[in-house]
Amino acid sequence: MRICLLLLFTLLGAEASFAAEVNIYSARKEALIKPLLDKYTEQSGVEVNLITGKADALIKRLELEGVNSPADLLLTTDVGRLHRARQLNLLAAVDSAELTKNIPSIYRDPENYWFALSLRSRVIVYAKETVSAEDLSTYEALADPVWKKKVCVRSSSNIYNQSLVSAMLVHLGEAKVEGWARGLVANLARSPKGGDRDQIKAVAIGQCKLALVNTYYLAGMLSSKIEAEVNAANKVALFWPNQNGRGVHVNISGAGVTRSSMHKEEARKLLEYLSGAEAQLWYAENNHEYPVRSDVPVSEILRSWGDFKADDLALSRLGELNASAVRLMDRAGWK
């Protein structure tokens, strides 16, 4: 009897030890998430194991590993990728009153398969010396011939651009958006290449007058320790498009509990922590992203850009329309 009890306690102890950890596949760079996870471990005692990589590669890894995947949480950028992970049956629904309270419904999956953890907006940056804010208005106006050979943008393979086009499809319909995309392509100063920081640098050196970028890239350059990045960022200014209409396009970084998770309870609790005030403030101050909670203040750089009207489109629609957006961009010659 004593041996049986000892064996039982050993097994229960092993189970408790096994459960006190969470494994994350993160498309966010380690420096942008690990300090926050270390804080959580300090407070909760739960060990967080982090594997970082390219967003699409991590989703493919989850798919190949299937039910044997050690991952408990997938943390990635852009709602399009979270939607893809759900469509591939890689995520599990989460029932959490805390997440429902902290995260507005437009920033989470309708059936709670994924949740936004931070917000960013795709905005127009322009050359301060040669362009005036009065010359700008909407995303649609970027197709106006007045901007011929003056616009820089990333490739159509970039998920941020795909999500912007998906949002425009909801608001404007396919015919109008395809016409806009063709006009935008005709206005490009160079063939699409590089990341958002490269577009900002191109505007700074006069290769183009305008570019489409995510807000946190510009904020990251303004707060950089690299003098050349700060100098380039200071040569451009930010413009919030569509403020007299639907509002500026907003996207997310977010996460979902994996279907294969062996620690679903611990994964849920970590998600709840990441949606809490402490974590949201850390995102705002260190990553220069907008909190999903309206009661959390933003960084000084973000405050300097002022308030703005955001598109209130439910972000689940962006994932649903991603394939249509990609086909449209291909037809328009957006490389």
Going by the DSSP 8-state scheme, the letter that residue 265 receives in this structure is H
Fold of 24-119+252-301: D-Maltodextrin-Binding Protein; domain 2 (3.40.190)
Sign of the dihedral through C-alpha 210, 212, 216, 217: negative
**Token pair 């893809």 is at which residue?**
84
Beta strands (DSSP E) in the chain are 21-26, 47-52, 73-77, 115-127, 151-152, 210-214, 236-239, 250-257
Neighbours of 97 (CB within 10 A): 8
Using alpha carbons only, give the angle 249, 58, 222 rounded to the nearest 5 degrees: 45
Fold of 120-249+311-331: D-Maltodextrin-Binding Protein; domain 2 (3.40.190)
pLDDT tens, position by position, 151-171: 999 999 999 999 999 999 999
- Residues forming a β-bridge with 256: 74
pLDDT tens, position by position, 116-137: 999 999 999 999 999 999 999 9
* CA dist., res. 287 & res. 300, Å (int): 12
* 101: CB partners within 8 A, 6+ apart: none
- pTM, entire model: 0.88
- Supply 63's token pair: 């798919």
The confidence score (pLDDT) of residue 257 equals: 97
In which residue ranges of the chain is CATH 3.40.190.10 found? 24-119+252-301, 120-249+311-331
The confidence score (pLDDT) of residue 334 equals: 97
* pLDDT under 50: residue ranges of the chain: 1-19
